[in-house]
Structure 1
Amino acid sequence: MRVLVTGADGQLGYDVVKKLKGLDTEHIGVDKEDFDLTNETETKEFILDYQPDEIIHCAAYTDVDQAEVEKELCYKVNVEGTRYVAEAAKELDAKMLYISTDYVFDGQGEEPFEVTDEPNPINYYGETKYQGEQEVQKSLDKYFIVRTSWVFGEHGDNFVKTMLKLGKERDEISVVADQYGSPTYTGDLAELIIEMIRTDKYGIYHATNEGFCSWFEFAKEIFNVADIDVKVRPVSSYKFETKAERPRNSKLSKVALFDNGFKKLIQYKESIRIYYKVSNDNIL
């Protein structure tokens, strides 16, 4: 099998490529330097020339606040770019796995969102990711849509790295305490993605590490693992002005994942410990 991974320079794409190397699988990881995802000709020509059997589409415009400003670029990457990849996959009869987000939901209520719940994005990033899902479904039968949340990995910027940096610089940090979700370690998610695309269990899935918490609780656990003595103060979302609205409830139900025989990812607290141990030299 030949695998193409887009967004190889991003947090998740980086770990997917890293895991594929360990499996000695024929693969290629691509990013902006290889082709412009917003250019239909470049995108399709590259993919059709490589002729993958499986495409793991991690590339995306992910700056949630800037997406409210750069709407045209965000749309070109997340919607049109995804369409080009999906159409190339269709021409090759290749499987495609598309990474989506908890932000396709509006965050209302307290229960975890099921894969069957109707998306209702409240920011432009979420809207384009949902439209990307629709592009995949429109073009393909052999697809996986994997919605995840609050990702952190060894490569690139993330909440864990930000907290560790601030914890070294400050005695007190204020963190939002009224948004809930599941932290997700890209090393764990990458393994699941590779396992999933090897099957024919097509459809929509939610995939995160186990357990729910607020950003405040997430931060406290990070400092606990790193043994950093800093006061963490819980605050309301209203204390932080952002261009894009965030969902209060980003909890995702993994019932579809388990019903199809895929294993649970480990508890998020354990994933932080593993991440901190393997990445310590790079994140401090």
Structure 2
Amino acid sequence: MKVLVFGNTGMLGKDLISTLDTKSYDVVGIDRKTLDFRDLYRIPVVLRDISPDVVINSAAYTNVDLAEKEKEIATKINRDAPGEIAKVCGEMKIPLLHISTDYVFSGNTNRPYVETDETSPVNFYGWTKLEGELAIKSVLQEHLIIRTSWLYG
């Protein structure tokens, strides 16, 4: 099975690649030097060239504070690119696993969030990640969205 991992140089992407490599998957990692998500027209080209069986998107604009100033870049990377990936995955009948964030929630609870909790981002970064989720849901049935919190390792 060929697995395409976007964001393979980030902390999560690196771990995904190393874990999948030990499981005998044919893993292809794509970093921002290979595919800049601001160039949306390149996403279909890369997906069609690689022709994976499954796509994992762990790429993101993750600088929460800077996203407030670089709104256009954060929006392209966190909302528009996942939507384009999902659209092409739908056309190619490829399932998508998308990594999102707990920043889609307000943070005003004293318990862990569940997937049915109301979303209410309190910053622009959270809004772009939520919009990315919605873009995926609007065009692709075969998807899984995982919301992570801060990664460390």
Q: Indicate the residue corresponding to 1:67 in structure 2.
A: 67
Q: Indicate the residue corresponding to 1:134 in structure 2.
A: 134
Could you tell me which amino acid in structure 2 is paired with residue 2 of structure 1? K
How much has 1:5 moved relative to structure 2? 0.1
Q: Indicate the residue corresponding to 2:24 in structure 1.
A: 24
Give the conservation status (yes or no) of the 8 Å contact 1:53–1:92: no
**TM-score computed with the length of structure 1 as normaliser:** 0.53
Alpha-carbon separation, structure 2, partners of 1:13 and 1:111? 28
Gaps of 5+ in 2: none
Alpha-carbon separation, structure 1, partners of 2:124 and 2:144? 23
How much has 1:7 moved relative to structure 2? 0.3
1:104 matched to 2:104? The reply is: yes
Alignment of 1:222-241 (within 5 A): none
CA RMSD of aligned residues (A): 0.9
Give the conservation status (yes or no) of the 8 Å contact 1:5–1:58: yes
Could you tell me which amino acid in structure 1 is paired with residue 67 of structure 2? A
| Count of residue correspondences | 153
How much has 1:24 moved relative to structure 2? 1.8
Summarize deviations over 1:179-232 as a string: whole Å, max 9, x none: xxxxxxxxxxxxxxxxxxxxxxxxxxxxxxxxxxxxxxxxxxxxxxxxxxxxxx
Secondary structure of residue in 1 paired with 2:64: coil
How much has 1:109 moved relative to structure 2? 2.7
Summarize deviations over 1:236-279 as a string: whole Å, max 9, x none: xxxxxxxxxxxxxxxxxxxxxxxxxxxxxxxxxxxxxxxxxxxx
Alpha-carbon separation, structure 2, partners of 1:99 and 1:86? 13
Summarize deviations over 1:31-81 as a string: whole Å, max 9, x none: 112112121221110111111110000000000011111111000100111
Alpha-carbon separation, structure 1, partners of 2:110 and 2:40? 41
Q: Indicate the residue corresponding to 1:42 in structure 2.
A: 42
How much has 1:120 moved relative to structure 2? 0.3
Alpha-carbon separation, structure 2, partners of 1:44 and 1:152? 32
Summarize deviations over 1:4-44 as a string: whole Å, max 9, x none: 00000100001101111111211100011211212122111
Give the conservation status (yes or no) of the 8 Å contact 1:3–1:27: yes
Could you tell me which amino acid in structure 1 is paired with residue 28 of structure 2? I
Give the conservation status (yes or no) of the 8 Å contact 1:102–1:147: yes
Could you tell me which amino acid in structure 2 is paired with residue 44 of structure 1? P
Summarize deviations over 1:81-132 as a string: whole Å, max 9, x none: 1111111111110010010111100011312222101100001110000001
Q: Indicate the residue corresponding to 1:210 in structure 2.
A: none
Alpha-carbon separation, structure 2, partners of 1:110 and 1:25? 40
Alpha-carbon separation, structure 1, partners of 2:103 and 2:61? 13
Secondary structure of residue in 2 paired with 1:4: strand
Secondary structure of residue in 2 paired with 1:65: helix
Alignment of 1:237-248 (within 5 A): none
Structure with the bigger RCO (C-alpha within 8 Å, sep 6+) is 2
Q: Indicate the residue corresponding to 2:125 in structure 1.
A: 125
Q: Indicate the residue corresponding to 1:171 in structure 2.
A: none
Alignment of 1:155-166 (within 5 A): none
**TM-score computed with the length of structure 2 as normaliser:** 0.96
Give the conservation status (yes or no) of the 8 Å contact 1:35–1:43: yes
Could you tell me which amino acid in structure 2 is paired with residue 143 of structure 1? H
**Higher CA-based Rg:** 1
